[in-house]
Amino acid sequence: MNIFYMAIKNLKKNLSFYSLYMLSVSFVITVFFAFTSFSVNKVILEKISTDGRVESMCNVISIFLMVFVIFYMTYSNRFFLRRRTKELGIYTLLGYRKFTVLSLLTFENILTCIGALIVGLILGALVHKGIVFGINALLNLSIDNSQIPFFNMSAISKTTLFIVLVVLVIAISNAKFIFKTSLIKLVRYEKSAEKKLKFRKIPAFIGFILILSGYCLALDILRGTKSVWICIGFYQIGLITMILIVVGTILFISSFLPYIMQHSKKNKKAFYTDIKIITTPNFIYRIRSNSKTLIMLTLLCAATLTVSSVMALSLYYPIASVSRIAPSEIEFRVERNKQIEDVKQIVSQYTSNTDDVTFTQTDIYKVKSSTKDLPIEYTIGTSRNDLSNNSSLKKFIPREAGFECISFSDYYTLLKGQNRTKLLKQLTPLRDNECILVKYQPNNDGSSENGMIYPLLINDTKTPIIVKETSLNNTISFGNSVGTLVVSDSIYKKIAQNKLPVTSIVSINGKSIKNNENLYSDISDYLNKSPYLQGHSHRINDLLSINSSTFLLIGFLVVLFFIAVGSILYFNNISAVSDSKSDYDILQKMGYTNVQIKKIIKKQVLPFFNIPFLLGILDCVFATLVYKTALMQNLLGSSFSQYIPVIIAIFLTAIVYLIYYILTTKTCCKIVLKK
């Protein structure tokens, strides 16, 4: 009972010191409990998961979350244990047995975790409710929120059991430390640090070269089919690149940075200032004595930035690509003329303002070409020979190479109906022998077909046409035409006068029919679920429905990364400043003002924030480049807008770290300048 009383007294006495630790643990438990509540929420899982994919992802991420939380809480506990070693050594000198000291620490951890658990359960329940509400509104799932309890007892029991396991792991870790550490080492442990690493020229520059080699390998993916990523293998080169960057980062931080700072001391004019003469040696000492922590923070920061950037890009890119995959709000292939009037009737039932809706019928003619050097969009694909009813005799034969042609007037009308005003302003009429070649995606080598001449076979007569522009601005969905050739109206008239294969497409656009799933569903039912029915808003809704759970689960991990990196940075810098408080007292006695002391503290803390962040940004940029180039189709070309989500993700991460930096410096200044 006496030990329990001492634990309560210690917590009260050091409440300000333990408050952020309890808050950070509360955040971790909040995320864990919200995720656990989501993973056991059968009501919403039945709505968003039909094949068990979400449940499988939840199970995998659950294991990852558990390992991550155990690591984070064990690291945080080790930080506080280091801050308490002198006090624990005094307890031992006073006659307390090591088992009693261990019991004291265990009680303190139990009380801290109980407080964090209570806060985490309440906040986690609120977060879970918010997630359910957001998914319900985003995907129109029609879930009655009253069916979902505020506290899920299964989630509470799982979270509580897990926290008990964490406390047990922490107790075992503390026991291992206390029983292995002698009394003298226990008293002096607070002043000790990680094993110092000597910096040498060779490992310093090897680290720099390894990082550059990893980045060069990442850039090599831009060479396309000639890249080693293709020739050797994506996963093999990916593993080599990761090893090069990780090993390079270790050597760079432990050897290269101290080496550079050591040489900077030779510049006496820059070094011998009232601030730098304090901060530079301090930085060299800290980066050598805490290199392992800084390396871990750099890798964690790189992982945080990469995961958040990849998630942002993965969410944005498919949605942005819908403008090419299905540019019209609704589009279908006409098989009977009656279908057009019937579809117009269906549309009129859903909108009172039919003046806003445009119906554009486009006839696409398949025209052969005598050249063998056609772009791949106009040669790919197969057609099935169904002459035989015996399925074993059905063969797939290459399609006859040629162009799917539409007129310039139809192209202009479709762009206008799709409200693509910027493109209309840039569009210039075609001459009789000119055309616009619409590509599926840009050529890997960056070349274009501008100026190429392709002969069209019209009525067995070769009609050469010149490619005026190579464009990615298709107006027909990929479901109905992968590559489209826009020809002048005069050439199109000649094509239409001949008996060539033709496909009629109707494109429907207008603000009043946007995002109308009921309208799309009725048209789909009328067309017997035709695979040629495409819809812009419908496609976006499908993408959100399919991917929302995935991005939500990854979001849990990103939040945990933020909490872990920020909190470790905070505790590490608080520990360093607290250990050197006597040094700051000496500086004050030497005449340093409070303003100068604050500048020294800010510059002492800054490298431990900006080094992981800047190296993390570099890793993130190259990792995102590899991800986009290798694993995503290049449907949007090289437009800058597709990288905006990555920039936003990095910017938001920078804001989070800036908040942690401000909070850390204020706390450090308060510790040093406290009277």
Domain boundary among 517, 534, 551: 534
* Residue 424 lies inside a defined structural domain of this protein: yes
Secondary structure class of 505 (helix, strand, coil): strand
In sequence order, what are the beta bridge partners of 359? 508
Domain boundary among 192, 212, 237: 192
Q: What pLDDT sits at residue 385? A: 44
Look at strands 502-509 and 434-438 and give their pairing.
unpaired
Please compute, for residue 305, the number of CA atoms within 13 A of its CA located in the half-sphere on the CB side. 26
Specify the DSSP class assigned to residue 393. Answer: G
- Are 3 and 151 members of one domain? yes
Backbone angles phi, psi at 73, to 5 degrees: -70, -35
- What is the spatial distance between Cα 471 and Cα 473, in angstroms, rounded to a whole number? 5
* Residue 32 lies inside a defined structural domain of this protein: yes
Backbone angles phi, psi at 478, to 5 degrees: -65, -20
- What is the spatial distance between Cα 137 and Cα 381, in angstroms, rounded to a whole number? 40
Rg (CA), the chain: 33
Sign, CA dihedral 31-32-34-35, equals positive
* Residue 550 lies inside a defined structural domain of this protein: no
- Are 14 and 162 members of one domain? yes
* Residue 202 lies inside a defined structural domain of this protein: no
Helices marked H in 479-535: 489-496, 517-526
* Residue 386 lies inside a defined structural domain of this protein: yes
- What is the spatial distance between Cα 150 and Cα 128, in angstroms, rounded to a whole number? 8
Domain that holds residue 41: 1-192
Closest CA to 506 of 336, 264, 623, 675: 336
Whether pTM > 0.75 for this model: the answer is: no
Both tokens assigned to 235: 């996963």
| Residue 330 host element (H or E) | strand 330-333
Q: What pLDDT sits at residue 83? A: 67
Q: What pLDDT sits at residue 134? A: 72
Q: What pLDDT sits at residue 305? A: 85
* Residue 627 lies inside a defined structural domain of this protein: no
**Quick check: 534 and 581 in contact, CB under 8 A?**
no
Residue type at position 104:
L
Q: What pLDDT sits at residue 390? A: 43
Question: Count of domains in the chain?
Answer: 2
* Residue 513 lies inside a defined structural domain of this protein: yes
CA 279 distance to own-chain centroid: 36
* Residue 320 lies inside a defined structural domain of this protein: no
pLDDT tens by residue, 418-438:
999 989 988 999 998 999 999
- What is the spatial distance between Cα 380 and Cα 355, in angstroms, rounded to a whole number? 40
Domain boundary among 157, 192, 227: 192
Specify the DSSP class assigned to residue 474. Answer: -
Both tokens assigned to 549: 């759970």
Please compute, for residue 498, the number of CA atoms within 13 A of its CA located in the half-sphere on the CB side. 16
Report in angstroms the alpha-carbon separations of 180 from 98, 174, 176, 184.
10, 10, 6, 12
Exposed/middle/buried for 538, CB within 10 Å: 0-12, 13-18, 19+?
Answer: buried
Listed as ranges, residues in the chain with pLDDT below 50 are: 1, 193-197, 380-397
Q: What pLDDT sits at residue 563? A: 73
